[in-house]
Amino acid sequence: MLGGYANRIAHIDLTKGTVEYSPMPEEWARKYVGARGLGVRYLLENGPQVDPLSPANMLCFMNGPLTGTNATMSGRQAVVTKSPLTGTVTDSHIGGWSAARQRWAGFDGLIFTGKAETPVYAYVQDGVVELRDATDLWGKGIHETIRILKERYGEKDLSVTAIGQAGENLVRFAAWVNENDRAAGRGGTGAVGGSKNLKAIVVKAVKKLPKAVDQEAWKPAHKQALATIMDEKNITSPRKGGLSVYGTNMLMNVTNTMGALPTRNSQTTSFGEQAELISGEYVNEHILVENPTCHACPVACKKEVEIKEGPFAGLRMESVEYEPAWALGANCGNDDINTVAKIIDMSNDYGFDAIEIGNVLSMYMELSEKNYLNGHPTLEWGDAMSMVTFTEHMVAREGVGDILAEGTTLAAKAFGHLELAMAVKGQSVPAYDPRGLKGMGIGYATSNRGACHLRSYTPASELGVVTPSTDPLAWKGKGELAKIFQDLHAFSDSLDLCKFSAFAEGADEYAAQYAAMTGMSYSPEDVLTTGERIYNLERYYNNLAGFGEGSDYLPDRFVNEPSTMPGSEGHVCELDLMLEEYYAARGWHNGVVPEEKLQSLGVV
């Protein structure tokens, strides 16, 4: 068997209340690496036709071969399932310490099927998984759930990943959260947990770093990867650059200035001077109190804050990151950083995807603006306190909150105005307007899990963070660029390394670390080929799930309503031209993977 793995998968049948253990299929590990790739392979075996909220759906907590090692930024885990929000395959990654502890406890993956008769949680320690009664935890928020379980088992060497009331009530964009505020946010993975009566996963494990098979090769490979991240001469390196100082929210002022910040449900591409009031710079100066970090990470991009004034004064929480700050800020016409922080904290406690909830609220605000509500209560742009109230209605599925809990696309459809849903395949767009950052347009459209910035983070090139640097307002070449980024990120997500490692590392560093850890000969070309195989596996799953030709698209607003703001004024997103280029690079037929492509990559 390859090195770098625990070579142990727990298969938990919640209906029967049984746990079985198996080695990881070596052929699958060689083809799909781990974490994201391996999880999707298990999902394919389970069948793409399952109802996402049925007992038949599979919920996987998967590590990669670098998870929990001393590889820099290796504290990530992939939660893989069929999404109740999109109907596609989805993987959502979570940081903190739970992934590392799962590896130290002796597992590459925990795979749940079925539905428990009453609420349960999984207790993981020393290569064993036990199901324990969670009746007393059901109905509680994530913060209280974690507190109770840490009191029960002790804080030392313990991680808890849990769902809140959003997951229990099957809100379609519910999340899993660990360490109180790190979320596997996108795709509704928490709702799948709720549908199975699975409240939490508790992992107790003493730190025990796995060792590489080839220690002599590991030392220089690890040293080189760390050096790229810590490079003091490179202002764009994760450690040297703004991530360590301002966190991900360093991007707020940047995208606002270049006319790429979607505002008021993407009606405009800039929030003007108000963007400063919700920016990383503003947070750093006014409410920042701490810089916590994840396993094996020197970057510390998380920013713990404390609200100093107003009705939420005294609230201390993590983390006012870029996408949630945008979603609940500029996208809702809200420049009150205190309320933005409050709703992010509510999302962490209830277990919401803060990106999706911001889009749901902004879509509803536009419905209000245009008098499309048919008697439902209105919500005005920037009405921060009412945003808090609507969030509470959503988690409880009360009144109009029951409609909004279905997510942006289904809610907009229920109101008869699907055109107001800024979403792709049912998942809302993040904080990059494709009229000002053209690469995000093709990235959103072709993402296998619905609109997503992390499948293909082309802004790294368009903002000059990595080479080659490209013009953000040029469409030509972006189809090919998106494919390369998608393949590279599919591999790094399967290792599983933090996405920000790609600001410094590339295929060379990934190949060297993977080869040394597993003992398998591996080249940079192998990295991209494997990433391509994983991306095509996901697309194949989606094709079998009913996503056929024409499933790659953007909301009409991005392709037909020109930007009116400085930086991108007059621009639309030329999606059709980029799709033509992209499909040629992929070898796909209008979004469908042909049989010969699958065969050439060894998927079938």
Compute mean pLDDT per 10 residues along the chain, 604 residues long, and list them.
91 98 96 98 98 98 96 94 98 95 98 98 98 98 98 97 98 96 95 98 96 94 89 61 79 96 98 96 89 82 87 87 96 97 96 97 98 96 98 98 98 98 98 98 98 95 89 98 98 93 90 96 97 98 98 98 98 98 98 98 96
Q: What is the pLDDT of residue 262?
A: 98
pLDDT at 467: 82
Helical pair 478-495 and 438-446, crossing angle rounded to 10 deg: 60
Provide the sign of the torsion angle of the four alpha carbons 466, 471, 477, 482, taken in this order.
positive
The ranges assigned to domains in the chain are 9-204, 244-428, 438-553+574-601
pLDDT confidence of residue 577: 98
Label residue 7 exposed, middle or buried (CB < 10 Å: 0-12, 13-18, 19+): middle
* The model scores a pTM over 0.85: yes
Please tell me the predicted confidence (pLDDT) of residue 313: 93
Given a contact cutoff of 8 angstroms between Cβ atoms, the answer to whether 222 and 70 are in contact is yes
Tell me if 591 sits within 8 A of 583, measured CB to CB: yes
Using N-to-C axis directions, what is the helix angle for 337-350 and 354-369, rounded to 10°?
Answer: 120
Q: In this structure, are residues 199 and 120 in contact, taking their beta carbons and an 8 Å threshold? A: yes
Whole-number pLDDT of residue 239: 57
**Which tokens is 17 given?**
């209340």
Taking alpha carbons only, the member of 175, 13, 5 closest to residue 79 is: 175
pLDDT of residue 238: 66
Fold (CATH) for 244-428: 1.10.569
pLDDT computed for residue 119 by the predictor: 99
Q: Is 188 left (phi over 0), alpha (psi -120 to 50) or beta?
A: left
In CATH, what class is 438-553+574-601? mainly alpha
Q: What superfamily in CATH does domain 9-204 come from?
A: Aldehyde ferredoxin oxidoreductase, N-terminal domain (3.60.9.10)
